[in-house]
Amino acid sequence: MPNASALRHQPFVKPDPELMDLVINHLSSYHPLPKALENEIKACLFDVRAKKNEYLLKQGETSEYLYLIIKGLVVGYTTLKNKKLTTYICLEGESVSAIKGMYGDGPSGESIYAVEDSHLIGLPIHNLLQWLQTSFELNIIIRKIVESFYKSAHQRSNLVRMGSAQEKYEFYLSTTNHNIQRIPPQYIADLLDIKPETLHKILKKAKQPNEASVQTYFELIEDYMRDQEAFKQHGLTLPKMAADLRVPTHQLSHVLNFHYKKSFTAFVNHYRVDYVRSKLQNTSAWQHLTIEALGKEGGFSSRSAFFAEFKSHTGMTPSEYAKSRQN
Protein backbone atom coordinates (compact mmCIF):
# COMPACT_ATOMS: atom_id res chain seq x y z
CA MET A 1 0.00 0.00 0.00
CA PRO A 2 1.13 3.63 -0.51
CA ASN A 3 3.07 5.41 2.19
CA ALA A 4 1.00 7.34 4.70
CA SER A 5 2.39 10.79 3.92
CA ALA A 6 1.98 12.54 0.60
CA LEU A 7 4.92 13.75 -1.47
CA ARG A 8 5.75 17.30 -0.53
CA HIS A 9 7.20 19.94 -2.83
CA GLN A 10 10.83 18.96 -3.33
CA PRO A 11 13.68 21.47 -3.61
CA PHE A 12 13.41 23.30 -6.92
CA VAL A 13 15.55 21.42 -9.42
CA LYS A 14 15.41 22.66 -12.99
CA PRO A 15 14.83 19.79 -15.45
CA ASP A 16 17.19 19.06 -18.32
CA PRO A 17 16.39 21.15 -21.43
CA GLU A 18 15.25 18.11 -23.42
CA LEU A 19 12.78 17.20 -20.67
CA MET A 20 11.40 20.73 -20.62
CA ASP A 21 10.95 20.41 -24.38
CA LEU A 22 8.91 17.25 -23.76
CA VAL A 23 6.56 19.22 -21.49
CA ILE A 24 6.20 21.97 -24.08
CA ASN A 25 5.58 19.38 -26.78
CA HIS A 26 2.92 17.72 -24.62
CA LEU A 27 1.10 21.01 -24.02
CA SER A 28 1.51 22.09 -27.65
CA SER A 29 -0.07 18.84 -28.82
CA TYR A 30 -3.36 20.30 -27.59
CA HIS A 31 -2.79 23.76 -29.11
CA PRO A 32 0.30 25.74 -30.29
CA LEU A 33 1.95 27.94 -27.67
CA PRO A 34 3.52 31.38 -28.24
CA LYS A 35 7.31 31.32 -27.82
CA ALA A 36 7.20 33.84 -24.97
CA LEU A 37 4.77 31.67 -23.02
CA GLU A 38 6.90 28.58 -23.69
CA ASN A 39 9.80 30.34 -21.97
CA GLU A 40 7.62 31.38 -19.02
CA ILE A 41 6.41 27.80 -18.57
CA LYS A 42 9.95 26.41 -18.73
CA ALA A 43 11.03 28.82 -16.00
CA CYS A 44 8.42 27.32 -13.63
CA LEU A 45 9.03 23.62 -14.28
CA PHE A 46 10.70 21.48 -11.63
CA ASP A 47 11.97 17.92 -11.40
CA VAL A 48 10.05 15.40 -9.27
CA ARG A 49 11.20 11.95 -8.15
CA ALA A 50 8.54 9.80 -6.53
CA LYS A 51 9.45 6.48 -4.96
CA LYS A 52 7.33 3.39 -5.39
CA ASN A 53 4.05 3.63 -3.40
CA GLU A 54 4.61 7.30 -2.60
CA TYR A 55 1.67 9.69 -2.83
CA LEU A 56 1.71 12.70 -5.14
CA LEU A 57 -1.63 13.81 -3.70
CA LYS A 58 -4.01 12.48 -1.05
CA GLN A 59 -7.77 12.67 -1.25
CA GLY A 60 -8.98 15.80 0.50
CA GLU A 61 -5.75 17.74 -0.05
CA THR A 62 -5.45 20.74 -2.35
CA SER A 63 -4.15 19.99 -5.82
CA GLU A 64 -1.03 22.13 -6.26
CA TYR A 65 0.64 20.72 -9.36
CA LEU A 66 0.08 19.38 -12.85
CA TYR A 67 2.60 16.63 -13.66
CA LEU A 68 3.95 15.12 -16.86
CA ILE A 69 5.20 11.56 -16.39
CA ILE A 70 8.67 11.12 -17.88
CA LYS A 71 9.09 7.59 -16.63
CA GLY A 72 6.95 5.46 -14.35
CA LEU A 73 3.43 4.35 -13.55
CA VAL A 74 0.94 6.49 -11.62
CA VAL A 75 -2.56 5.58 -10.44
CA GLY A 76 -5.46 7.75 -9.31
CA TYR A 77 -8.18 6.45 -7.03
CA THR A 78 -11.02 7.67 -4.85
CA THR A 79 -12.32 6.13 -1.63
CA LEU A 80 -16.07 5.92 -1.06
CA LYS A 81 -17.57 4.12 1.94
CA ASN A 82 -14.21 2.48 2.66
CA LYS A 83 -14.02 1.08 -0.87
CA LYS A 84 -11.14 2.07 -3.15
CA LEU A 85 -12.14 2.83 -6.74
CA THR A 86 -9.36 3.24 -9.30
CA THR A 87 -10.17 6.17 -11.59
CA TYR A 88 -7.21 6.12 -13.99
CA ILE A 89 -3.84 4.56 -14.77
CA CYS A 90 -1.16 6.75 -16.39
CA LEU A 91 2.22 5.94 -17.94
CA GLU A 92 5.06 7.82 -19.66
CA GLY A 93 4.07 10.79 -21.78
CA GLU A 94 0.77 11.43 -19.98
CA SER A 95 -0.20 14.32 -17.73
CA VAL A 96 -1.75 13.76 -14.33
CA SER A 97 -3.46 15.94 -11.72
CA ALA A 98 -6.66 15.87 -9.71
CA ILE A 99 -9.85 15.62 -11.77
CA LYS A 100 -11.86 17.34 -9.05
CA GLY A 101 -9.94 20.27 -7.64
CA MET A 102 -7.37 20.47 -10.43
CA TYR A 103 -7.47 24.27 -10.26
CA GLY A 104 -6.44 24.32 -6.62
CA ASP A 105 -9.74 25.86 -5.53
CA GLY A 106 -10.98 23.00 -3.36
CA PRO A 107 -10.14 19.60 -1.92
CA SER A 108 -9.15 16.86 -4.32
CA GLY A 109 -11.68 14.10 -4.81
CA GLU A 110 -8.97 11.48 -5.32
CA SER A 111 -5.54 10.27 -4.32
CA ILE A 112 -2.63 9.94 -6.75
CA TYR A 113 0.37 7.73 -6.09
CA ALA A 114 3.32 6.11 -7.84
CA VAL A 115 3.02 2.36 -8.44
CA GLU A 116 6.73 2.22 -9.31
CA ASP A 117 9.69 4.59 -8.94
CA SER A 118 8.70 7.48 -11.16
CA HIS A 119 10.24 10.57 -12.72
CA LEU A 120 7.88 13.47 -13.36
CA ILE A 121 8.06 17.14 -14.27
CA GLY A 122 5.85 19.41 -12.16
CA LEU A 123 4.14 22.68 -13.05
CA PRO A 124 2.57 24.71 -10.21
CA ILE A 125 -1.19 25.21 -10.43
CA HIS A 126 -0.91 28.80 -9.20
CA ASN A 127 1.17 29.65 -12.28
CA LEU A 128 -1.44 28.01 -14.51
CA LEU A 129 -4.15 30.11 -12.88
CA GLN A 130 -2.17 33.29 -13.63
CA TRP A 131 -1.72 32.34 -17.28
CA LEU A 132 -5.37 31.42 -17.61
CA GLN A 133 -6.14 35.10 -16.97
CA THR A 134 -3.88 36.30 -19.77
CA SER A 135 -3.41 33.50 -22.32
CA PHE A 136 -6.05 32.43 -24.83
CA GLU A 137 -3.84 29.52 -25.91
CA LEU A 138 -3.42 28.11 -22.43
CA ASN A 139 -7.15 28.33 -21.82
CA ILE A 140 -7.64 26.00 -24.79
CA ILE A 141 -4.89 23.65 -23.60
CA ILE A 142 -6.13 23.34 -20.02
CA ARG A 143 -9.72 22.89 -21.19
CA LYS A 144 -8.62 20.02 -23.43
CA ILE A 145 -6.53 18.45 -20.64
CA VAL A 146 -9.49 18.58 -18.27
CA GLU A 147 -11.66 17.11 -21.03
CA SER A 148 -9.21 14.22 -21.35
CA PHE A 149 -9.42 13.63 -17.59
CA TYR A 150 -13.21 13.54 -17.72
CA LYS A 151 -13.12 11.31 -20.79
CA SER A 152 -11.05 8.84 -18.79
CA ALA A 153 -13.58 9.02 -15.95
CA HIS A 154 -16.44 8.53 -18.41
CA GLN A 155 -14.75 5.48 -19.92
CA ARG A 156 -14.42 3.97 -16.46
CA SER A 157 -18.11 4.57 -15.81
CA ASN A 158 -18.84 2.69 -19.05
CA LEU A 159 -16.53 -0.13 -17.98
CA VAL A 160 -18.28 -0.79 -14.69
CA ARG A 161 -21.66 -0.93 -16.47
CA MET A 162 -20.57 -3.54 -19.03
CA GLY A 163 -22.21 -6.95 -18.82
CA SER A 164 -19.41 -9.49 -18.43
CA ALA A 165 -15.82 -9.32 -17.21
CA GLN A 166 -14.69 -10.34 -20.71
CA GLU A 167 -16.60 -7.42 -22.25
CA LYS A 168 -15.07 -5.01 -19.77
CA TYR A 169 -11.58 -6.27 -20.58
CA GLU A 170 -12.15 -6.03 -24.35
CA PHE A 171 -13.52 -2.50 -23.99
CA TYR A 172 -10.46 -1.52 -21.96
CA LEU A 173 -8.15 -2.94 -24.63
CA SER A 174 -9.97 -1.01 -27.34
CA THR A 175 -9.71 2.34 -25.50
CA THR A 176 -6.18 2.30 -24.08
CA ASN A 177 -2.82 3.05 -25.69
CA HIS A 178 -0.99 1.44 -22.77
CA ASN A 179 1.20 -1.63 -22.83
CA ILE A 180 -0.94 -3.45 -20.28
CA GLN A 181 1.89 -5.86 -19.45
CA ARG A 182 3.54 -2.89 -17.73
CA ILE A 183 0.61 -2.61 -15.33
CA PRO A 184 0.22 -4.93 -12.32
CA PRO A 185 -3.00 -6.92 -12.92
CA GLN A 186 -4.57 -5.91 -9.60
CA TYR A 187 -4.79 -2.29 -10.78
CA ILE A 188 -6.44 -3.29 -14.04
CA ALA A 189 -8.90 -5.49 -12.11
CA ASP A 190 -9.72 -2.59 -9.78
CA LEU A 191 -10.19 -0.20 -12.72
CA LEU A 192 -12.54 -2.68 -14.42
CA ASP A 193 -14.32 -3.49 -11.15
CA ILE A 194 -13.80 -7.24 -11.52
CA LYS A 195 -12.21 -9.81 -9.22
CA PRO A 196 -8.43 -10.29 -9.63
CA GLU A 197 -8.87 -14.05 -10.07
CA THR A 198 -11.37 -13.42 -12.88
CA LEU A 199 -8.92 -11.14 -14.66
CA HIS A 200 -6.19 -13.75 -14.19
CA LYS A 201 -8.33 -16.31 -16.05
CA ILE A 202 -9.04 -13.82 -18.85
CA LEU A 203 -5.36 -12.93 -19.23
CA LYS A 204 -4.31 -16.58 -19.16
CA LYS A 205 -6.77 -17.39 -21.92
CA ALA A 206 -5.77 -14.32 -23.93
CA LYS A 207 -2.10 -15.31 -23.87
CA GLN A 208 -2.83 -18.74 -25.34
CA PRO A 209 -1.76 -18.32 -28.97
CA ASN A 210 -3.91 -19.27 -31.90
CA GLU A 211 -1.03 -19.65 -34.34
CA ALA A 212 -3.07 -19.30 -37.52
CA SER A 213 -4.91 -16.24 -36.26
CA VAL A 214 -1.77 -14.57 -34.92
CA GLN A 215 0.10 -15.19 -38.17
CA THR A 216 -2.74 -13.60 -40.12
CA TYR A 217 -2.56 -10.52 -37.91
CA PHE A 218 1.22 -10.35 -38.28
CA GLU A 219 0.93 -10.38 -42.05
CA LEU A 220 -1.76 -7.68 -42.07
CA ILE A 221 0.21 -5.47 -39.67
CA GLU A 222 3.54 -5.86 -41.46
CA ASP A 223 1.97 -5.02 -44.81
CA TYR A 224 0.22 -2.00 -43.31
CA MET A 225 3.30 -0.63 -41.57
CA ARG A 226 6.14 -1.61 -43.91
CA ASP A 227 4.64 -1.77 -47.39
CA GLN A 228 1.97 0.90 -46.98
CA GLU A 229 4.15 2.96 -44.58
CA ALA A 230 1.10 3.81 -42.47
CA PHE A 231 3.39 5.08 -39.70
CA LYS A 232 3.86 8.23 -41.79
CA GLN A 233 0.28 9.26 -41.03
CA HIS A 234 0.23 12.13 -38.55
CA GLY A 235 -2.27 11.39 -35.81
CA LEU A 236 -2.50 7.66 -36.52
CA THR A 237 -4.58 6.07 -33.74
CA LEU A 238 -5.34 2.55 -32.61
CA PRO A 239 -9.02 2.75 -33.76
CA LYS A 240 -7.92 4.19 -37.15
CA MET A 241 -5.41 1.37 -37.66
CA ALA A 242 -7.97 -1.24 -36.61
CA ALA A 243 -10.53 0.23 -39.02
CA ASP A 244 -8.00 0.23 -41.87
CA LEU A 245 -7.12 -3.40 -41.17
CA ARG A 246 -10.80 -4.31 -40.65
CA VAL A 247 -10.13 -6.04 -37.35
CA PRO A 248 -11.69 -5.41 -33.91
CA THR A 249 -9.81 -2.72 -32.00
CA HIS A 250 -9.42 -4.90 -28.89
CA GLN A 251 -7.94 -7.73 -31.00
CA LEU A 252 -5.35 -5.41 -32.53
CA SER A 253 -4.49 -4.06 -29.08
CA HIS A 254 -4.14 -7.63 -27.80
CA VAL A 255 -1.70 -8.58 -30.59
CA LEU A 256 0.42 -5.47 -29.99
CA ASN A 257 0.47 -6.02 -26.21
CA PHE A 258 1.03 -9.76 -26.00
CA HIS A 259 2.91 -10.61 -29.19
CA TYR A 260 4.81 -7.43 -30.11
CA LYS A 261 4.97 -6.57 -26.39
CA LYS A 262 4.48 -2.87 -27.10
CA SER A 263 1.85 -0.23 -26.56
CA PHE A 264 0.32 1.20 -29.73
CA THR A 265 2.35 4.43 -29.47
CA ALA A 266 5.64 2.60 -28.87
CA PHE A 267 4.87 0.23 -31.74
CA VAL A 268 4.27 3.04 -34.26
CA ASN A 269 7.24 5.10 -33.07
CA HIS A 270 9.51 2.08 -33.54
CA TYR A 271 8.72 2.13 -37.26
CA ARG A 272 9.13 5.90 -37.44
CA VAL A 273 12.57 5.79 -35.85
CA ASP A 274 13.64 2.89 -38.09
CA TYR A 275 12.54 4.88 -41.14
CA VAL A 276 14.53 7.95 -40.13
CA ARG A 277 17.58 5.85 -39.24
CA SER A 278 17.57 4.21 -42.65
CA LYS A 279 17.38 7.62 -44.33
CA LEU A 280 20.18 9.08 -42.20
CA GLN A 281 22.48 6.23 -43.23
CA ASN A 282 22.30 7.46 -46.83
CA THR A 283 23.00 11.18 -47.22
CA SER A 284 21.66 11.31 -50.77
CA ALA A 285 18.29 10.05 -49.52
CA TRP A 286 17.65 13.12 -47.36
CA GLN A 287 20.11 15.86 -48.37
CA HIS A 288 17.22 17.89 -49.84
CA LEU A 289 15.56 17.95 -46.39
CA THR A 290 16.43 19.27 -42.95
CA ILE A 291 16.62 16.64 -40.21
CA GLU A 292 13.45 18.12 -38.68
CA ALA A 293 11.64 17.76 -42.03
CA LEU A 294 12.83 14.17 -42.25
CA GLY A 295 11.27 13.46 -38.88
CA LYS A 296 8.00 15.01 -40.03
CA GLU A 297 8.12 12.90 -43.19
CA GLY A 298 8.54 9.85 -40.96
CA GLY A 299 5.33 10.64 -39.09
CA PHE A 300 6.50 12.63 -36.05
CA SER A 301 4.24 15.58 -35.30
CA SER A 302 6.86 17.79 -33.62
CA ARG A 303 10.61 18.31 -33.42
CA SER A 304 10.78 17.67 -29.68
CA ALA A 305 8.81 14.40 -29.90
CA PHE A 306 11.00 13.27 -32.79
CA PHE A 307 14.29 14.06 -31.05
CA ALA A 308 13.21 12.55 -27.72
CA GLU A 309 11.96 9.31 -29.29
CA PHE A 310 14.98 8.97 -31.56
CA LYS A 311 17.39 9.43 -28.67
CA SER A 312 15.54 6.91 -26.50
CA HIS A 313 15.99 4.31 -29.25
CA THR A 314 19.57 5.06 -30.33
CA GLY A 315 21.20 6.96 -27.46
CA MET A 316 21.97 9.80 -29.88
CA THR A 317 20.17 12.78 -31.34
CA PRO A 318 19.35 12.54 -35.06
CA SER A 319 22.19 14.98 -35.85
CA GLU A 320 24.69 12.94 -33.84
CA TYR A 321 23.51 9.76 -35.53
CA ALA A 322 23.86 11.31 -39.01
CA LYS A 323 27.43 12.40 -38.25
CA SER A 324 28.32 8.96 -36.91
CA ARG A 325 27.17 7.38 -40.18
CA GLN A 326 29.40 9.73 -42.16
CA ASN A 327 32.56 8.77 -40.23
pLDDT tens string 292-313: 888 999 998 877 778 888 888 8
The per-residue pLDDT for 7 is: 56
Report the amino acid identity of residue 185.
P
- pLDDT tens per residue, range 125-159: 999 989 989 999 999 998 888 888 777 777 777 77
The per-residue pLDDT for 5 is: 45
In a domain? residue 5: no
In this prediction, what percent of the chain has a pLDDT beyond 70? 94
Whether the per-residue pLDDT at 1 is higher than 50: the answer is no
The per-residue pLDDT for 288 is: 75
The per-residue pLDDT for 2 is: 44
Domain end position, chosen among 179, 207, 235: 207
Q: Is the Cβ–Cβ distance between 250 and 174 less than 8 Å?
A: yes
Whether the per-residue pLDDT at 245 is higher than 50: the answer is yes
Whether the per-residue pLDDT at 244 is higher than 50: the answer is yes
In a domain? residue 11: no
Q: Which CATH number characterizes residue 307's domain?
A: 1.10.10.60
- Average pLDDT across the chain, whole number: 86
- pLDDT tens per residue, range 161-207: 778 899 899 888 888 888 888 899 999 999 888 999 999 998 887 76
Residues contacting 323, CB < 8 A, separation 6+: none
Give the domain range for residue 199.
165-207
Whether the per-residue pLDDT at 225 is higher than 90: the answer is yes
In a domain? residue 1: no
**Same domain flag for 195 and 253:** no
**Same domain flag for 133 and 169:** no
**Same domain flag for 299 and 202:** no
- Bridge-partner residues for 201, per DSSP? none
Count of domains forming the chain:
3
The per-residue pLDDT for 3 is: 44
The per-residue pLDDT for 271 is: 95
Residues contacting 304, CB < 8 A, separation 6+: 18, 21, 22, 24, 25
With bands split at pLDDT 50, 70 and 90, how would you rate the model's confidence at 9? low
The per-residue pLDDT for 57 is: 93
- Write the burial class of residue 115 (CB in 10 Å: 0-12 exposed, 13-18 middle, 19+ buried): buried
Q: Which uninterrupted H or E stretch holds 170?
A: helix 165-175
Q: Rounded mean pLDDT of 232-260?
A: 90
Query: Around Cβ 127, how many Cβ atoms within 10 Å?
Result: 16
In a domain? residue 269: yes
Residue that wins the pLDDT comparison between 99 and 257: 257
**Same domain flag for 130 and 198:** no
The per-residue pLDDT for 10 is: 57
Residues 161 and 147: their CA atoms lie apart, in Å, by 21
Residue that wins the pLDDT comparison between 323 and 298: 298
Whether the per-residue pLDDT at 209 is higher than 60: the answer is no
Residues contacting 67, CB < 8 A, separation 6+: 48, 56, 74, 95, 96, 97, 120, 121, 122, 123
Domain end position, chosen among 182, 207, 232: 207
**Same domain flag for 135 and 64:** yes
Q: Rounded mean pLDDT of 222-233?
A: 94
**Same domain flag for 143 and 58:** yes
In a domain? residue 148: yes
Closest C-alpha to 187, from 175, 167, 172, 170: 172
**Same domain flag for 181 and 260:** no
**Same domain flag for 26 and 157:** yes
Whether the per-residue pLDDT at 210 is higher than 70: the answer is no
Residue that wins the pLDDT comparison between 149 and 16: 16
**Same domain flag for 183 and 66:** no
pTM: 0.79
Q: Which CATH number characterizes residue 105's domain?
A: 2.60.120.10
**Same domain flag for 63 and 157:** yes
